[in-house]
A and B are shown apart, each in its own frame.
Chain A
Amino acid sequence: MPSSLLWAVDVYGRVYSLSTAGQQWEQCRDAHLEFKRVTAVQQCCWGIACDHNIYLNVHASDLRIRFQEETYENQRWNPVDGFSDRLLPSDRWQWSDITGLKHQPLDSFRLPSENWEWEADWHVDENFGGEPTEKGGWTYAIDFPATYTKDKKWNSCVRRRRWIRYRRYKSCDTWAKIPSEQTCSLPDPFNDISCGGWDITEEPRGRLSLWAVSLQGKVWFRDGIHHLNPEGSAWEEVSTPGEVVQISCGPADLVWAVLWEGQLLVREGIGRDNPKGNSWLVVESPSPEVGAIHVAVGSNVVWAVTKDHKIWFRRGVNSHNPRGSGWIGMVGEMVMINVGLNDQVWAISREDRAVYFRQGVTASELSGKAWKAVSVPRDSDRSHSSASTSSLHSAGCFFGGEVRLQSQNSVLSDVDSDTERVSAGAPPAPEPADVPKPRIPKVTSDSFISELVSDREGQIGRREVPPVAPGSSIPEEEQTEGEAEDKGEQVAGLSSSRSGGLDPQWSNVDLQEEQAQPAAPPAADAADTCSLSSVATYNLEEPYGADEHPLWAWVSGGGCAIDSHSQLNWFNSTGLNSSVPSMSLSITPAQTAAWRRQIFEQLNERSKREMENFKHYEQAVEQSVWVKKGTMQWWRDWKPHKWVDVQFALEQFSGPEGNKDGILFIYYTFNDEKKYLHVFLNEVTILVPVLNDFKHTFAIYTAERTKQRWPIRLAAATELEMHDWLALLSVSCCDSRGIQGPPSKQAIWSITCKGDIFVSEPTPSLEASPYPTPCDQMFWRQVGGHLRIIECNSLGVVWGIGYDHTAWVYTGGYGGGFFQGLASSTDNIYTQTDVKSVYIYENQRWNPVTGYTNRGLPTDRYMWSDASGLQECTKANTKPPSPNWTWVSDWAIDYGVPGGTDREGWQYAADFPASYHGHKTLKDFVRRRRWARKCKLTTTGPWQEVPPISLSDITILPCGPKSTVEQVPLWAISNKGDVLCRLGVTSLTPAGSSWLHVGTDQPFKSISIGGVHQVWAIARDGSAFYRGSVSAQNPAGDCWYHIPSPARQKLKQVSVGRTSVYVVDENGNLWYRQGVTPSYPQGSSWEHISNNVRKVSVGPLDQVWIIADKVQGSHSLSCGTVCRRLGVQPVEPKGQSWDYGIGGGWDHVTVRANAMEAPRISMPSLTDNANNRTAPRSPAPVRNQPEMNGNALGS
């Protein structure tokens, strides 16, 4: 899991973040001003600074935020000038938007705020519907508005072209001020802010909701925040039944607020089309006497704090019932509480102002188990050299009336930086004498809150606020002045200088109230006034380093991605020694190398010394047969097919060479006669787990069974039993083939439609010609983890992409998942998670009386079904794909269905089954909509996440086994369609260091890099592009060349080998690029090779492997079959026919690491010829000797 940040504000208004991977609070160095509150999400953090402005800190990413502006240039033909910009009076503007209704000349485009910059100048978009126009981007039509074509015809009277320009968000990793509204009246100063809403829908736009509360108790909603517009566009007021003091917005559709009077508000009607919601619902405070002061919501939880600091958990909250059913009191006394990702809970305790984490919060136990204090030190070496510069107001300015004029100080420094220098005893900073301290400034939010409260006093007479505020602020000032004498004293001294009281360290306003009337419970009114000031007032003169534990005012876990499994190093800090050496036996190879290497070497020596010369001695213990038995169910080979109970036995023995082998027996009864079926383990080619929700099954294939497309299918009684058997069988099969340890660098990887990962060791004869090893004889073994795509090259760089688009890099291990103990490596197996959606369809038929209803014709499909309509799938009976998956969301309408939907998610058609469209026509009698529910898998495998950018495709330069490529070119497509180039990838650092964004004018979906850095890519509109001038020196190339697609085909995927370029289109056709030469790498035309192809992978020797649909076996038909092109030769790169391997149910294969050439054997004349011909065609040095990873092969 990548590291993410927990944000907090201390009582001085300083903002800190704590990384899930870190062990100390890092001060946000950029913050020149103090903050009242922050609210974080994963990609950014919002804050209210003490200058009343809202600031946004967008975390920098390798992928910049770019917004494409577009405008259209329109022209009309006239006989005199030809096409010219002289339009008819009735025509559209010469420069307009796409509809022609809005006048928008190029110079009318302005940057939305000073946080943006232009990337380049305006340019013409040459791409038209996936095809290059080659005519300056002009598209022609008879008249406006009409259908445009790229070809000029005799009747083309008008034409237009699209101009585009990018602007870039530049204020990343810094607190950027959100420009205040010019138009309407500015809301009064904001008092609370809460960000969330990213889970309301699955929209790719990355929408966020930001709610704010002003000091007058009004609620505001920030409109238009999405990933291309992080700042949002405008504030909209949301009317409320009362005055709100605090608000909390969850990741999904929960928004709760607290009223001044202590009741709570629940927002109803929040949804995809209405993130603002409709109306408020009032919920009474948990405790009848004491009002609520704080509320925090997550996806499915609501927590609240009442004015007596008690904490409450709301029962029964979910998206259908945002209101919940009742309150449960929880242990602990907190001043505020915050719910982060995965409904994890953070709080600040009343007693010691420490940040607490709620332990044990899981989806099934949302209330968690216990509070645990986060005790990590803060970074103490704060350099304040940068404190001067910025034009941002410093905190001092806000309180400037009292403090001093910052502008007079040439060194514009925060107050606390000065004090720190003093306290640290360091040589005085420049002009220390100039630091005027006429009065002790109070730079905490609550001092200004008290001011504001007094403001309210004056202005708003109608509120029934007792005149506490002015009273409370006066003693504060006295106190602080008194403390000025103790300058330099530490906290202890400070607290001792205060009179006893409940908690003398806390000069909190309400505490003072309590001190004043210790016997009486805090009167509701008084508490009301002070409830906002959950922040203590502190004297800034207090030396920084002195406070042993930080005093926190606010915490936000909205960006902190942890769950109950996360390993955190936050809780057992050992005082001064902040860097606890993590007790790990394999900390880093470097640290352990010496002693470990010695043990390995000595054991080797020992074996030589004690055993080498004595091999002829008899063994004291003879090896015997070892049998493991069990009962299972077997899917009978003959009709009627059904599950029958069988006895299952594995007999293992030592083979003649000392290698282990085994036989698998399946004993069954047929017609009262006992029979058995057996399989030699060394003939098993693959073991495939086929977990589903009702049976724990797995399939055993041999070469013969692969030909039949009919494996042996077995079902174990429990999942555990199945995994035990699979692990044992897998180890035994590997033993019998002498395979152990990690896969070699040349390995061929494949992935099933269940996300299971398999790897096969290629042999030189696999690519032999003319008689290669048939690929149904390949042995595949499983590697832990769950992926959708995997790519590799022969230098051992392997990357994968999960269903949730997370990028993973291979760690060099093996095992994981259900492989435990000996079948798994130890130190490079990590937790891996994946999230995918399960879809079901709601089907309706129209009838003249009632319109669309869920009453279908008797012949219709189920009203709730799978995509095919054949299987009934209701919301209630649909389970996650296997017991390993757990639901992590509720059912929600999916609007992202191909073909589009209406506002309610419906797609219409004339009848089932048919092609659906997103709007209703008169001819439509049926409709359907898709519901999606997310489920999550947690497993282990040799994979480490490469945060933070989500990917949809990836490619790695294929190279010869001995080629020395210092930086391995690796390209990827982000799940938003950006093209990325990974820097710093080497065989030692396969994860690389950072992404380089390669600009495109449209989103892309597939990419592949070939032998001599030819980069080909497919855009989302199905067009192909070639990237020019990519080389080791210029890893990102310089420009894209648009390659026309095969006629009327939208391309889907591309793979480039040494020289061959293959693409697959959306109709399953495989195309070969003709005429690719070193001088003209774009090639000339497409040649059709095959249909029924789902995916293609071209290897470093130009091998062509595909995932094919509809492969007929002798017993059954399979879809998703791994196939290999036979007869591929340097002179015959298209090959001749297909060789069918493992499948069906396969989704992905990559042979891009297999640079193992066929051995030079047999038919010398032919081979010599082939080699002679190979030489000029192979730009990449390819060697005959395969390079193996340590102990990958051989026993």
Chain B
Amino acid sequence: MADDKDVLRDVWFGRIPTCFTLHQDEITEREAEPFYLLLPRVSYLTLVTDKVKKHFLKVMKPEDVEEMWFEYEGTPLKWHYPIGVLFDLHASNTALPWSVTVHFKNFPERDLLHCPSNSVIEAHFMSSIKEADALKHKGQVINDMQKKDHKQLWMGLQNDKFDQFWAMNRKLMEYPMEEGGFRYIPFRIYQTTSDRPFIQKLFRSVSSEGQPHTLGDLLKEMFPAAICQDDEPKRYQVLIHGIEPMLETPIQWLSEHLSHPDNFLHVSIIPSPSD
């Protein structure tokens, strides 16, 4: 039988083939070729697109270059969401590779956060981990770690070092046996149909009766419309890392195995393809 460890590997090594094309309005000295890249699903756009930037800068004048940002079919892509979430939310069920448009000007201030350097990503990533641990262990685990341990988590993500990352991250995934799970499950539910950025509430891993909560329980409470009745056609797809886990899946297991490196379980709810 396959081991749960394999899930962690599959999640970590998930890649989205992406085609970056320069926006037509950008001024170039000669025509810019598209750039193809395998993006790690669990990483952040601005963290893994140095090569993209280098590629397009070759055909551009320095004075035409402002902060780089990305857009997919008119939607600016938020770098502070994991790449996999952006893809699931906006581009699942489309043909691969994912076609992302690159901009170097007209930064959409209202939609995106600036990302001047990797330290901003690191700060965002670490604050997510801390927030998650506050939910899971009242922050005790992350606070007990040393500075270098924090660094190891970040370096693991930045350099795509699975072993390095998980050697530390497994401590964040522990919980007291008798409690049966984390205090609260760190999760975020994203949807395209609403203006709210995402849903995030307190949700326990185990019900007051001691029953393990499932994905279905979570959705029932947070997004009941996602649970289709037997007789009606499926209206929504619930995607985590591009897959649709069964509603019976224990939420604690999902949190341990399908969370992103920021320790949040990112759930994308999108309308079912009408085909």
A residues lining the B interface (CB < 8 Å): 567, 572, 574, 577, 580-581, 583-586, 589, 594-596, 598-600, 602-607, 609-611, 613-614, 617-621, 623-624, 626, 731, 741, 820-822, 825-827, 1190-1191
Contacts and interface: CB of A to CB of B under 8 A. Distances in A.
B49 A620 contact: yes
A584 B181 CA distance: 9
Given A610-B96, A614-B97, A626-B164, A1190 B14 contact: no
25 contacts: A567-B177, A583-B206, A583-B211, A585-B250, A598-B245, A599-B249, A602-B243, A604-B10, A606-B242, A611-B38, A613-B17, A613-B96, A614-B15, A614-B97, A620-B38, A621-B159, A624-B159, A626-B159, A626-B161, A821-B167, A822-B163, A822-B167, A825-B3, A825-B5, A1191-B2
B83 to A, nearest CB: 9
B245 A617 contact: no
A996 to B, nearest CB: 31
Contacts of B8: 822
A720 to B, nearest CB: 14
Nearest to B173: A821
A452 B120 CA distance: 85
Given A600-B7, A614-B96, A821-B170, A585 B40 contact: no
Interface in B166-213: 166-167, 170, 177-178, 180-181, 206, 209-212
Contacts of A577: 209
B149 interface: no
Interface string B234-250: 00000001111110111
B166 A822 contact: yes
Given A617-B37, A620-B48, A825-B3, A610 B163 contact: no
B170 A594 contact: no
A529 B17 CA distance: 88
B51 interface: yes
Contact of B4 (A567, A607, A623, A827): A827
B27 interface: no
B14 A610 contact: yes
Contacts of B252: 585
Given A617-B36, A820-B170, A606 B243 contact: yes
B266 to A, nearest CB: 15
B24 to A, nearest CB: 24
Contacts of B72: none
A741 B5 CA distance: 9
Nearest to A732: B163
Contacts of A741: 3
B38 A618 contact: yes
A822 B10 CA distance: 13
Nearest to B98: A610
Contacts of B43: 620-621
Given A594-B246, A619-B38, A624-B159, A589 B17 contact: no
A572 B210 CA distance: 11
Contact of A606 (B14, B161, B211, B250): B14
A826 B181 CA distance: 15
A600 B257 CA distance: 12
Given A599-B245, A618-B51, A1190-B1, 7 more contacts: A596-B249, A598-B245, A602-B244, A606-B243, A610-B16, A614-B97, A620-B37
Given A621-B43, A626-B161, A822-B163, A595 B3 contact: no
Given A610-B15, A611-B15, A620-B51, A585 B256 contact: yes
Contacts of A821: 166-167, 170
Contacts of B249: 595-596, 599
A592 to B, nearest CB: 8
B7 to A, nearest CB: 7
B115 interface: no
A1131 to B, nearest CB: 42
A687 B275 CA distance: 57
A617 B38 contact: yes
B2 A1190 contact: yes
Contacts of B181: 583
Nearest to A724: B167
B6 interface: yes
B122 interface: no
A621 B246 contact: no
Nearest to A1189: B1
B245 A583 contact: no
Nearest to B254: A599
- 7 closest pairs, A vs B, by CB? A583-B180, A614-B17, A602-B243, A620-B48, A621-B160, A595-B249, A595-B246
A600 B2 contact: yes
Given A610-B14, A610-B96, A620-B37, A603 B243 contact: yes
A574 B210 contact: yes
B227 interface: no
B244 A826 contact: no
A826 B173 CA distance: 12
Given A585-B250, A598-B246, A580 B210 contact: yes
Contacts of A595: 245-246, 248-250
A621 B155 CA distance: 12
Q: A580, A602, A609 — which one has the most chain B CB atoms within 10 A of its CB? A: A602
Contacts of B4: 586, 826-827
A523 to B, nearest CB: 46
A618 B49 CA distance: 12
A585 B256 CA distance: 10
A1036 B252 CA distance: 48
B253 interface: yes
B39 interface: yes
A1005 B239 CA distance: 60
B45 to A, nearest CB: 10
Contacts of B177: 567
The interface centre, meaning the residue of A602, A617, A741, A1191 with most chain B CB atoms within 10 A of its CB, is A617
Residue among A594, A741, A821, A1191 with the highest chain B CB neighbour number at 10 A = A821
A860 to B, nearest CB: 53
Contacts of A604: 10
A232 B133 CA distance: 61
A599 B243 contact: yes
Nearest to A740: B5
Interface string B50-65: 0100000000000000
A614 B19 CA distance: 11
Contacts of B163: 731, 822
Contact of A600 (B6, B48, B166): B6
Nearest to A824: B5
A1109 B170 CA distance: 43
Contacts of A820: 170
Given A581-B211, A607-B10, A822 B243 contact: no
Contacts of A731: 163
A827 B7 CA distance: 14
Nearest to B35: A618
B210 A620 contact: no
Contacts of B97: 614, 617
B226 to A, nearest CB: 16
Nearest to B258: A599
B40 to A, nearest CB: 6
B208 to A, nearest CB: 10
Nearest to A611: B15
A826 B248 contact: no
Contacts of B242: 606, 610
Contacts of A602: 243-245
Nearest to B248: A595
Contacts of B6: 600, 1191
A374 to B, nearest CB: 16
Contacts of A580: 210
B125 to A, nearest CB: 15
Contacts of A621: 40, 43, 48, 158-160
A574 B37 CA distance: 55
Nearest to A586: B4
A519 B242 CA distance: 76
